[in-house]
Amino acid sequence: MPYKNQSLFAKGLEYEILYCFKQDKHKQVFKALRKETSTGLKQEVLVKIFLDSRFQEEFESLSKVISPYCVRLFGFENFGKKQALILEYINGVSLFQLLKQFSLKEKESSYILNCIYKGLKALKSYGISHGDLSLDNVLIDEKAQIKLIDFGRGNYEKESFFTVPFVAPEILKGFQPNFLSDLYSLGVLSILLKENSFLKDLQNLPLTRLEKTHSLLSLDPLKRVFSEKTTDSKSLKSLSFKVKELLSELDSKRCQTMKQKPATSFHVKMWIRFVFIGLIVLCSTGSYPYKQTYGLLKIYTHKWFLIESSDVKSYTPLNLLLEEGWHQIKWKSHTSEGEKKIFISSKKKLILNDTFFQIKK
């Protein structure tokens, strides 16, 4: 999608594109400087341009939420035939970046968890859930303010969006995301924040064994309860200092990258992939410091089927995490049965529908 002079124009407004955060077949996300032509007022924002029909649903979901713990939606624009959301730009780092660089004190961790919980409660009060709470979807700015991002997709899309291993077990069985499943994800975050050594071996974390000591990880959603803990101003100052240090380091790396690879044209492939001070709002990269050895299998059929493998025995629809490799899948319904061998890849999800089972709608 070409942009003249690296800018987008709306009625009385110019959006000067600073750089691209992400581009795929569904959307383009830019950091931009919004300028009001009549007054000259300027503001840094994120511009999320939709390349498909998801704009209305996401706008309706985001427009409901007003909370200091959730990213803010400013409004929307039409750029030619493309629709875009205008979002708050957060000058901060993610929990993933923070944990890679620093170990957190207990009170710092408690403060972060308390803020995330307040954000989840705010989403619940507006009738939505996060659905994909993870290290990448929590931002901390230089004043140590916590913001939830990338929330709400699971409230209006049929497909589930989640990040392993933060996803609650009931979501893998096909249930819709809700506040209680968000609490499970918060439980995983609490372990990572308080025991940083788990970060590299996250896939081997025995979450089911921790159920008794971490109520948020209970397999029974109704037993998940979060207890807020008090924090002090010292924790806030120390956390703010760590964020500022990290922002300074990332900004320095960004400048070096831009000097080494100057952009020549906005129409050419100029997307510079680097870690920068403002993470994508509503667009998670999903990169983690552990080797992914599991793949996602989704099964959707128009008739009920009993699915059985070495790892699961349940009815469709299903969202399953299976080890990478070959698996024997058996199925049975009131009209047919059979079995096939499938390959699960950690790099690409596998979706099985009526065609796989040779069913007529």
Give the start-to-end residue ranges of the domains of the chain: 4-88, 92-223, 294-357
Q: Where are the beta strands (DSSP E) in 248-349?
A: 294-299, 306-308, 313-315, 318-323, 325-332, 337-344
Kindly tell me if the per-residue pLDDT of 358 is higher than 90.
no
- How much is the mean pLDDT over the chain? 78
Q: Do domains 4-88 and 92-223 have the same CATH topology?
A: no
Which range has the top average pLDDT, 3-7, 28-32, 152-156?
28-32
* Cα distance between residue 124 and residue 126, in whole Å: 5
CA torsion sign, 140 to 141 to 143 to 145?
Answer: negative
| Residue that the structure tokens 């341009």 belong to | 49
Write the CB contacts of 92 (distance below 8 Å, at least 6 apart in sequence).
Answer: 139, 140, 141, 142, 145, 147, 243, 247, 277, 278, 279
325, 343 contact by CB (below 8 A): yes
* pLDDT tens digits, 216-269: 988 889 999 998 888 778 888 899 999 999 988 887 776 655 555 444 333 323
Above 60 in pLDDT, residue 33?
A: yes
With 90 as the cut, is the pLDDT of residue 34 above it? yes
CATH number of 4-88: 3.30.200.20
Q: Which CATH class for the 92-223 domain?
A: mainly alpha
What pTM, to 2 d.p., does this model score?
0.67
